[in-house]
Structure 1
Amino acid sequence: MPRIEQFRRALKVLSDHASNLLLERRVRQQLASAAPATAQGYDAVIYFADDVASAYQVRQWFGPMSRLARTHPVAVLCHRPSTAAALLKDAPLPVYLATGITQVEDFVRTRGTRVVFYVNNNQANFTVLRLTSPIHIHLSHGESDKISMASNQLKAYDHCFIAGEASRRRIEAAVRHLRPGSLVEIGRPQLDDFVEGTDGDVLKGRTGTTRRATVLYAPTWEGDRPAMAYGSLVSHGPALVEAILASSEYRLVFRPHPRSGTRLAAHGQAVDRIAAMIRAAAKAQPDAGHYVDDRPDFAESFTEADVCICDISAMAMDWLPRGKPLLVTLPADAGAAVDRNGIAGVVPLLDAGDSGNIVQVLHDLEAAPVSQEQLDLVHRIFGDTAPYASTRRFISAFERALAEAGL
């Protein structure tokens, strides 16, 4: 390699390192300003090592963790300064930064932390798992039929809090030699976020601008490998959106996955194209009410929608308890792992070739009642979905884990 190129690379490494140090210093100052005035103990922390694009995985646990924090203080412990800064903007829980395992260990020791929660299987989790004093509990950041939901990595945790029977069957069928009792069914505590957010006008949001039926299109990202290629942005999205926008019957809310385009540029480009189509339609017909939902919380768009179109993802599962029409896209990539014994075997599927005919598909979907199979699937996936039933199971499972460990 020419010396000049070596020099440029070395200079870039030094520049990046200096930038990271400045960012970390600035973020630590922000966190210190927002921290409680006196040192506080935390019974539990959510340890999160991922980047800003994945911060939604923590955010969707803000509601359940806030309810747990009423009796057991909870904090968020981030590995990356940029993620800590992003979460600090809207976190209802205290946020801290620990860029190395020694800092994590000091935090756990000095704050009396008894439980460490994890919302994914980031490799950095397994450094923290060396700590023997706290209980380590894995939380899925969403229940779905994606192949990633059954991982051998789940063996590393003391407990895995899962949604229900469907999750248990999926994991036990795929993962050998699981420790008996490690899987704990808690339902979906996030469903109770809707209970707390539906007082009075039921989050009307922008629904007052139109009498059209609201269609929520919420595609997932492209996935990290062919078996995870569930995203419909490229295969279904443009034709589907164009047809809905051309209809006078429907109002479209588009909510792309935060990680769209992080691996395949075409998916990010599809988001930009669809967003531009929606902006143009909203400008031409302001009363139609079309918009792109980029809010951290999806509760409002969920509450507004009459019909949901999404991919094989947690969005599909979370929609099921609403008892409203659901249309799931059939992955166009032949390598995508589709479980025909799961949601794809129960709800109507949309082939990519039918995307341009989506208005007629929606007519047919709305004309038929939601199937009993779809309604029954809710109990198989989440168990009891009565208000706060999942929250009670979550908190009880947490307290039981403490009692079993003698903590």
Structure 2
Amino acid sequence: MPPTLLRVGKLGLPAVLVLSFAAQVMGALLPDIRLLVAATAAGLAAEGVLHRWQRPVASAIARTRADVTVRVVLRDLLLVAGLLGHQHQPEQRTVYLPLLLGLLTFYALHFACHATALLVRRTRTLPVVTRNIDASALRLSAAPPALLARRPSNRLLLFGLPATAGLMATALTDRPWYAAAGVGLSIAAGAVGLAELLVRLLPGRRPARPEEVLEWFDAWLAEYRPTVGMYFSGGTSSAYQANMWLDTLGKVEGRPLIVLRERFMLQKIGATDLPIVCVPKVADLMRLEHSTLQVLLHPANSGKTSQVLRIPTIKHAFVNHGESDKLSSVNPYSKAYDEVWVAGAAARERYALADVGVEDKDIVEVGRPQLDGIRADTGGPAGGPVTVLYAPTWEGWDGNPGNTSVVEAGENIVRELLADPGVRLLYKPHPMTGSVDPCAGAANLRVQELIRAANARREAARPDPGVTAELERATAELERLTSGGFRTAADEAERMLLQSTPEPGRAQAVAEATARWEDLYWASLPAGEHQVVTGSRPALYSCFDQAHLLISDVSSVVSDYLASEKPYAVANTSGLPEETFREVFPTVGAAAILTPDGAGVAELLDMVRHPARDGLAGARATLRTRLLGPASEASALRFQDGVRALAEAARAHRERIVSAIPTQPGAPRREASARGAVPSRTVEG
């Protein structure tokens, strides 16, 4: 539906519903059969549009207690009242009384169907949900049709349509058998739907009971014997914080495991062959205490993190999802972990200055394994356009104007860049921009409009049609690999069944398909055309490889970009003098500083075009080592060393716990469940 009609529908559809009921009442009281039928038809049409295109409006109406059930019952009863009022002889009115009983029977079936659907959904809501783990023992099956299980409003409208249509036909023709046939069809549909749901409650058709699932989970933990895991909890837009660690975790020795807390997050985690478990309840989460799990890595803090920190047999390391000079990178919560893993010496100094309770002995420098594949400096644009990546961060929670440049400086910086005909701009705002401050969201939209207008004025060479066609095929293949191929009606139990066994090599296939898609994406773009990149693809690191220059804010984007050692600039919207700005935020020490008015962009571009004038190259190399660790040492190896050392500390701690537990005289001494070396990933028989 067009946006204009959507806006009109937010007010117009509720008005149509109200007017249709008012007209129905008038038609039933007069009685005026034509008015009654016309009003009923208008109401049904409004319901169809409402549930097809305006579901938020339908939800808002339901909150007033005038939900679909009330509206359908009222609509039908007004039809019956109009029919009874139209008949002047008492003996004629008695003909319609069985129709009223039939309607009541249909409504009873609807409520019974709804109650049964709730029971079915409860039996299919498991205490532990998994991916990449064989769950065939749990008697999982395909979900019932969504119309029966999860959409009672749509079910009532659809199943009740024959009854309403029959009543309308009878009102127009004065032939009761139309209504009888319609009511009969509605009753039959309701009965079939109820039977379909009741069958799923039979002992042989329902999934395993919660206690059976937990026993199965314990047995799987004992068989798989996990050693290192990643624990993650967060909102719908935070999955990227975990996804950036999937490849690194997959290369760790031992048997990795991913532990989640929110059910929806199971499908937000990217393609991986690693086993994933989602344990929503804290009581069930505590079962990990009796497993062989030694180390949990934490990419983010959350309210539920404190729950898993209670497990004394596991060592916890905070790995974060990016480092910057912001206060959020030295959160006092970090002292709750056994160790804090950082990229380089700069983060260690940051914690010392912040004095938030994290001791220096608990900080481990492991580098940034995700950055090992970023291309190094290519030596400038080599005569072509200068590709500038403007990647401002979001506004944050504290309202500090220095958090993001998009509000005060974004439009000015973009105007300066667009004024240079030799610049190709890639604009990639943070996905959470505008989520707290509407001003940031509005500024983001204005920047995008500036870029669209500049593209309209610029004539760019069109790409090779063959490349475009190849990109379409690559997109289709990537969607096939990442979509999961689920039915729309699939629930978590059905998805768990379909994802029990990972397709061998699927994660590698997705990585290769993504790399191919990114190459074709960049090749398919018109030469020199500016781009607004707001989706998950292409990824930020792919944009790094395209750019000759980064403009950003004080954020982890700057630290990560330094892996390339290419020039970068930071917008100073903090209100601090430049000297103080550099002193307070060490990550901008090797950056060009831009003021909110965009001054300095021309000089910055000149430096990129003429590398000999780049006086900050040496400073960038030095700062890169401080922020990310020595370039000569692969971060993946340093990360593995950190895992190995912390696992050894966990085993030693578990030994001490076991040896400290008093035993009854004559009773055998308990053994540590995780004793010995880190096992291989092959499950022992």
TM-score by length of 1: 0.81
The alpha-carbon distance between structure 1 residues 266 and 115, as it changes in their structure 2 partners (threshold 3 A), is same
* Whole-angstrom distance in 2 between the partners of 1:63 and 1:188: 12
Change (3 A) 1:157 1:93: same
Amino acid at match of 2:648: A
Give the structure 2 partner of residue 37 of structure 1. 134
Residue 350 of structure 1 corresponds to 594
Q: What do the CA deviations read for 1:118-151 (whole angstroms, capped 9, x no partner)? A: 1122222112211112111111211211122222
Do the aligned partners of 2:374 and 2:564 also contact (CA within 8 Å) in 1?
Answer: no
Aligned counterpart for 2:255 among listed residues 68, 73, 97? 73
Q: Deviations over 1:299-323 (max 9, x none)?
A: 2111111111111111111111312
Residues 219 and 234 from structure 1, CA distance in 2 versus in 1: closer, same or farther, beyond 3 angstroms?
same
Matched residue, 2:83? none
What do the CA deviations read for 1:195-241 (whole angstroms, capped 9, x no partner)? 7xx9xxx9xxxx9xx93121111111101114584211111212222
Is this contact kept in 2: 1:27–1:85, CA < 8 A? no
Residue 52 of structure 1 aligns to a residue whose secondary structure is: coil
Deviation at 1:253, TM superposition (A): 1.1
State yes or no: 1:86 paired with 2:268. Answer: yes
Q: Tell me the residue number matched to 2:302.
A: 122
What's the secondary structure of 2:374's corresponding residue?
A: helix
Partner residue of 2:283 out of 102, 106, 110: 102
User: Could you say which residue in structure 2 is the equivalent of 1:295?
Assistant: 536
1:376 shift after superposition: 0.9
Q: In 2, are the aligned partners of 1:147 and 1:227 still within 8 Å (CA)?
A: no
Cα distance in 2 between the residues matched to 1:165 and 1:404: 23
Q: Paired residue for 1:362, among 593, 605, 621?
A: 605
What does residue 132 of structure 1 align with? 312
1:15: which partner in 2?
none
Rate the CA distance shift 1:358–1:178 in 2: closer, same or farther, 3 A.
closer
Out of 622, 625, 633, the position equivalent to 1:376 is 622
Moved over 6 A (4+): 9-12, 21-29
Query: What corresponds to 2:682 in structure 1?
Result: none
Given the alignment of the two structures, is residue 168 of structure 1 paired with residue 348 of structure 2, yes or no?
Answer: yes
Number of the residue aligned with 1:148: 328
Aligned-partner SS, 1:327: strand
Alpha-carbon offset, residue 111 of structure 1? 5.6
- Cα distance change on mapping 1:306 and 1:125 into 2, 3 Å: same
For 1:28 and 1:314, how far apart are their aligned partners in 2? 38
Separation in 1, partners of 2:242, 2:442:
26
> Structure 1 residue 79: deviation in Å?
2.2
Contact 1:235 1:332 in 2 (8 A): no
Q: Hey, what does 1:320 align to over in structure 2? A: 562
Q: Does structure 1 conserve the Cα–Cα contact (< 8 Å) formed by 2:592 and 2:604?
A: no
Change (3 A) 1:282 1:64: farther
Partner-residue secondary structure (3-state), 1:103? helix
- The partner residue of 1:236 within 399, 409, 421 is 409
Which one of 538, 553, 562 corresponds to residue 311 of structure 1? 553
Higher strand share: 1
Q: Where does the alignment leave 5 or more consecutive residues of structure 2 unmatched? A: 1-59, 68-114, 136-219, 461-525, 652-673, 675-685
| Structure 1 unaligned residues grouped into runs of 5+ | 13-17
* Alignment partner, residue 250 of structure 1: 423
CA RMSD of aligned residues (A): 3.6
CA contact (8 A) 2:389 2:547 kept: yes
What's the secondary structure of 1:46's corresponding residue? strand
Closer, same or farther: CA 23–230 of 1 in aligned 2, 3 Å: farther
Instruction: Please say if residues 51 and 82 of structure 1, whose CA atoms lie closer than 8 Å, have aligned partners that are also in contact.
Output: no
Do 2:132 and 2:274's aligned partners in 1 also have CA atoms closer than 8 Å? Answer: no
CA distance in 2 between counterparts of 1:25 and 1:125 reads 28
Q: Tell me: CA distance 1:129–1:85, structure 2 relative to 1, closer, same or farther (3 Å).
A: same
Deviation at 1:278, TM superposition (A): 3.1
Paired residues in the alignment total 376
Equivalent AA in structure 1 for residue 434 of structure 2:
G
Q: Deviations over 1:357-379 (max 9, x none)?
A: 63444224544223422221111
> Which residue identity is paired with 1:102?
A
The separation in 1 between residues aligned to 2:413 and 2:564, in whole angstroms, is 23
Q: Does structure 1 retain, via aligned residues, the 8 Å contact 2:225–2:291?
A: yes
CA shift at 1:27, angstroms? 9.7
> CA 1:171–1:289 in structure 2 vs 1: closer, same or farther (change >3 Å)?
same
Task: State whether residues 402 and 572 of structure 2, in contact with CA within 8 Å, keep that contact through their aligned partners in structure 1.
Answer: no
Q: Does 1:181 align with 2:336?
A: no
**2:241 aligned with 1:57, yes or no?**
yes
- Tell which deviates more after alignment, 266-275 or 126-135: 266-275
CA contact (8 A) 2:548 2:608 kept: no
* Identical columns (%): 26
2: CA distance between counterparts of 1:26 and 1:278? 49
CA contact (8 A) 1:23 1:81 kept: no
| Partner residue in 2 for 1:402 | 647
Match of 2:451 in 1: 278
Give the match's secondary structure for 2:566: coil
Distance 1:214 1:182, change over 3 A: same
User: Given residue 251 of structure 1, which amino acid in structure 2 is its aligned partner?
Assistant: R
**Is contact 1:326-1:348 (8 Å) kept?**
yes
* Structure 2 Cα separation of the partners of residues 307 and 43 of structure 1: 42
Equivalent position amino acid for 1:377 in 2: L
Q: CA deviation at 1:95?
A: 3.3
SS in 2 for 1:349: strand
Q: Which has the larger radius of gyration?
A: 2
Distance in 1 (alpha carbons) for counterparts of 2:545 and 2:123: 40
Quick check: 1:392 aligned with 2:573? Answer: no
User: Aligned equivalents of 1:120 and 1:338: distance in 2?
Assistant: 27
Q: Give the partner amino acid of 1:188.
A: R
Q: Which amino acid aligns with 1:404?
A: A
Offset, 1:103: 3.1
